[in-house]
Amino acid sequence: MPMPIIAPSLLSANFLKLEEECTMLNESEADWFHLDVMDGRFVPNISFGVPIIEHIRKATKKICDVHLMILQPERYAEAFKAAGADILSVHIEACTHLHRNIQQIKSLGMQAGVAINPHTPVSLLKDVLGDIDLICMMSVNPGFGGQKFIPQTLNKIRELRKMIDDNKLNVKIEIDGGVTLENAKEIIEAGAHVLVAGNTVFRSKDPKATIAKLKQL
């Protein structure tokens, strides 16, 4: 089994000590910084936006993986590029013109991701799969950290992985929500490439050791 990419979600970080949290991640085996942007409209919570990401960008050389849980993401793609996003994911449920949004993200020079909610079938991705770099598959309903992993996600991962492999595409599957040291192995075995982990990393006694464990599974 190839080693997973580990993307800790800073939604669960201590915002008063954000610089220390970034340093910890820089020194850890984490590969990406997963940054959750919420607008209080697409999801029932508000998190952080462009100014915080600008600061995080200055504090790391690792990949900044920005997950937009916002309506009309096309209004902000340029601002997130300027803030330093490397990967920008938009929700399929928030985009009337998903294909256009993907082209916009790529033309700005970022990798394009599409995020899908637990109720959204992976078959809806068929006609954009060749255009994108990442699927951010939600394994909880987006909006909050610390929720429980929805088991049906495992079937969705297998189905999506088959679509990707059958078409010889180079798209990564990222699993977001409720990832723990207990379920990470079966998530990878089902075909995921990237593990997002918020609470599992930041609520653990030794976050660096926890990241190392996720990486070595």
Is 34 an interacting residue with respect to ligand DX5 (CB under 6 A)? yes
Q: Kindly identify the residues of this chain, within the stretch 39-98, that bind Zn ion according to CB under 5 A.
A: 67
Is 86 a catalytic site residue? no
- The catalytic position among 127, 133, 176, 206 is 176
Cβ of residue 16: shortest distance to Zn ion, in angstroms? 21
CA distance 25 to 45: 25
> What is the footprint of Zn ion within residues 104-163 (CB under 5 A)?
none
Report the residue from 73, 113, 177, 191 that binds ligand DX5 according to the rule CB under 6 A: 177
- Of 125 and 140, nearer to ligand DX5 (C-beta) is 140
Binding residues for ligand DX5, total number by CB under 6 A = 22
Contacts of 209 (CB under 8 A, 6+ apart): none
In the residue annotation, 36 being an active-site residue is answered as yes
- Could you say whether residue 7 binds ligand DX5 (CB under 6 A)? no
Q: How many residues sit close enough to Zn ion to count as binding (CB under 5 A)?
A: 3
Q: Does 178 bind ligand DX5 (CB under 6 A)?
A: yes
Q: Catalytic amino acids?
A: 36, 176
Residues lying near Zn ion in the complex (CB under 5 A): 36, 67, 176
Residues lying near ligand DX5 in the complex (CB under 6 A): 9, 11-12, 34, 36, 67, 140, 142-147, 176-179, 196-200
